[in-house]
Structure 1
């Protein structure tokens, strides 16, 4: 009986040790499983982050492409709507001298050969800026030499003189000219004033001219 109890005790102890070993193994397997689950979740998160980043990048690229397309369309429209250029000579017909006068007087260039955008008025001689931008103007004068009268005109912006073209000699032909680039606001007025006591000549050959055009908007 005593021997049987001893054998049973040994068997129980063996089973306990085996159970403890299996429990330890199970715990180890649980830990390994948890590590694998953590790795899997990390990979899933990395994939999700990468996918999200790619999706955001794709959205950003699409947005930039759409914005570029809108800018191109705006530039195409802007270019069509903001084309401004004119060129005119002084006399509509005939020939002769203008002046001299005691004071400065506006010069009205009536023979218009181009007036794109209709910013120049051949009835008043006024160029009125339709958009804010940089504009380039040129004017060429013609006159016969005279002892008392020069050939001269001044470009005026909003009533203020900017550049003058002036030449005076007692004989032969004079041909003063000038060019200028101006930043104009919408509604600014540019025109030429004939200089006081001067004479300016024009004919059907269109010697005396005034031209301008929009370089770019701002």
Structure 2
């Protein structure tokens, strides 16, 4: 009796185990059937990536070339701008030079005659010197000043046009002190008129023709340790005139 019960129990356990194994196999099969197919081959993926990388590299090369071209264009534009600025500056300089030349031509056409003559004093008697330095003599009594190139307040003649001018000057002295005066062009010593008396009255005179540029200044200066004088007879004088323009 006990043997029969044992075999009955064993059959029951085997039956349950077999049923469980079949159930597990069915679940596994279902899971396998539900899985997605495998992705494409890894080599194909790598090939696609290589092609894409090559395309990107080629694009980068093209962009680099375009960037180089743009940089070259910008440099060329900068060079052209510099040249344009230089041309503008040259144009301004040429325009200024042309304007100056036109003004000079106008001045040449307007100023055709220049002449002046003046003596040292207007009235009375005046002695000048001696001094240890050379001073500009101011000839106050103006009898002629065509063109107004001589300034009776400074004693300086200023050339209004480029040309050749002639100047004469005369100084009067007395006693035993030298009478002397020198003609100056700007800061340049030209000629000296000088007389060394021992007594009585003496005079010294000289003349010079000078090529002057516009604005050059001519004056007569008292020589050092010299003395001159003038009175109503107007012994001491300074004259000049334009000979011709150039």
Question: What's the TM-score once normalised by structure 1's chain length?
Answer: 0.62
1:143, CA displacement in angstroms?
0.8
Match of 1:201 among 223, 229, 232: 229
Does 2:192 correspond to 1:164?
yes
Q: What are the ranges of 5 or more consecutive residues in structure 2 without an aligned counterpart? A: 1-106
Match of 1:117 among 129, 142, 147: 147
Match of 1:105 in 2: 135
3-state DSSP class of the match of 2:234?
A: coil
1:79, CA displacement in angstroms?
6.8
Does 2:87 correspond to 1:87?
no
State the structure with more CA Rg: 2
Q: What are the ranges of 5 or more consecutive residues in structure 1 without an aligned counterpart? A: 1-76
Match of 1:28 in 2: none
Q: Distance in 1 between matches of 2:126 and 2:145?
A: 25
Q: Distance in 2 between matches of 1:179 and 1:78?
A: 25
3-state DSSP class of the match of 1:161?
A: strand
- Over the residues paired in the alignment, what is the CA RMSD in angstroms? 1.4
Match of 1:211 in 2: 239
3-state DSSP class of the match of 1:171?
A: coil
Does 2:203 correspond to 1:175?
yes
* 8 Å CA contact 2:108, 2:161 repeated in 1: no
1:78, CA displacement in angstroms?
5.5
1:215, CA displacement in angstroms?
0.1
Aligned length: 140
* 8 Å CA contact 1:145, 1:168 repeated in 2: no
1:128, CA displacement in angstroms?
0.2
| Cα shift readout 1:163-216 (whole Å, capped 9, x = no counterpart) | 000110210211100000000000000001100111101001111000000000
- 1:104–1:78 CA distance, 2 compared to 1 (3 A): closer
* 8 Å CA contact 2:175, 2:197 repeated in 1: yes
* 8 Å CA contact 2:111, 2:160 repeated in 1: no
Match of 2:215 in 1: 187
3-state DSSP class of the match of 2:150?
A: coil
Match of 1:127 among 138, 157, 160: 157
Question: What's the TM-score once normalised by structure 2's chain length?
Answer: 0.55
* 8 Å CA contact 1:133, 1:217 repeated in 2: yes
